[in-house]
Amino acid sequence: MTQFMASSKFALVALLITLLATIAPGRAEEAAAYVIADSTTGFILDQYKGDKKLPIASLTKVATAMVVLDWSEASKSDLSQVATVPDAAAQIAAGQGTGLQPGDRCSLRDLLYAALMQSDNVAALTLANHVGQAIGGGSSPVDSFVIQMNALARTKGMLNTKFVNPHGLDNLDRATPYSSAADLARLTSYAMGNSAFRFYVSQRERKITIFTASGQSSYLLRNTNELLGINSIDGVKTGTTARAGQCVIISAAKAPESRQEGEKHFITPRRVNVIVLGATNRFPLAQSLLARGWQLYDAWAAAGRPTKGWKPAR
């Protein structure tokens, strides 16, 4: 019986690999780089130029949000506290959908929604300025915050990453910020492990409150991630600049795998993350990579989830 089960498992793996050979990976010419990864372990299932250093635009805000959330948890700071938009926001406020201006006030929670859902640059800067004041250690509050962003990157093994601001604009500083698809896969695995972050990026719409000199106003945020809700996609973030091109991170989960081994019952989460950088048409490409990602995940899982020596079929 044991021999039969072993041979059946081998046959299943062989069948999955054969099927994968008929599924074309994302066409490389459609993006500067991409990575498909298991979110739970961070294992890379497939990649194209995954370690290449590239501008990442507003995907930067994933790191911004995680520094804020980590600080809030470590310091027991309430995200309902209100932050003031700094004067430095004047140079990036033009064209902002929320209309945040220097002197306006907004809760940290609503600023997180604005930064992650609608990619508001002023919201990201305001978060950095407020939290950076509490953290200290840099030449300015925002500098203190960016130091923490890069510290987070180092702790997550993001060796091809350098953050220079909290919003991802790449035409304001002398140094150009960069990361890689593989590094962003590591960051995304960490971020999607945080329940608060998962909730923020899964929202299609959210009304926030802004306090201005003339009184209180509301603004309805709309998520820039057009793939939310399609094929169980529940995050994560979009980004676009002239240098970076079209960028997107998406994440999707399926029902956890449940298995019994003797008296022990094991539950294994199933979530796949896709990172696309410098795409010509990011959403269709990300969708096709996610479909391939689930096929690869099934083959990898059937093989026992090896951490070394496993390569996707072509």
- Does any domain span residue 175? yes
The rounded distance, in Å, linking the Cα atoms of 297 and 133 is: 43
Residue 173 placed within a domain? yes
In angstroms, how far is the first alpha carbon of the chain from the final one? 33
CATH code of the domain in which 268 resides: 3.40.710.10
Structural domain includes residue 279: yes
pLDDT value at position 103?
96
Place of tokens 């820039």: 224
The tens digit of pLDDT for each residue in 11-50 reads 444 444 334 433 444 455 589 999 999 999 999 999 999 9
Residue 221 lies in a domain: yes
pLDDT at 3: 47
The pLDDT, as a whole number, for residue 124 is: 97
Instruction: Establish if 308 belongs to a structural domain.
Output: no
Query: What pLDDT does 261 receive?
Result: 74
For residue 68, pLDDT over 60 is answered with yes
Residue 270 belongs to domain spanning: 9-302
> 309 lies in a domain?
no
- What residue has token string 């989960």? 253
Q: Where are the alpha helices (DSSP H) in the chain?
A: 2-21, 60-75, 108-117, 121-135, 141-155, 181-192, 195-202, 282-302
**Residue 4 in domain:** no
Q: How many domains are contained in the chain?
A: 1
Average pLDDT over residues 224-251: 97
Provide the edge-to-edge strand list for the sheet that holds 82-84: 82-84, 105-107, 205-212, 215-222
Average pLDDT over residues 49-70: 98
Summarised one tens digit per residue, pLDDT across range 170-209 is 988 778 899 999 999 999 999 999 999 999 999 999 999 9
The CA-based dihedral angle spanning residues 47, 53, 59, 61, taken in that order and rounded to the nearest 10 degrees: 140
Residue 218 within any structural domain of the chain: yes
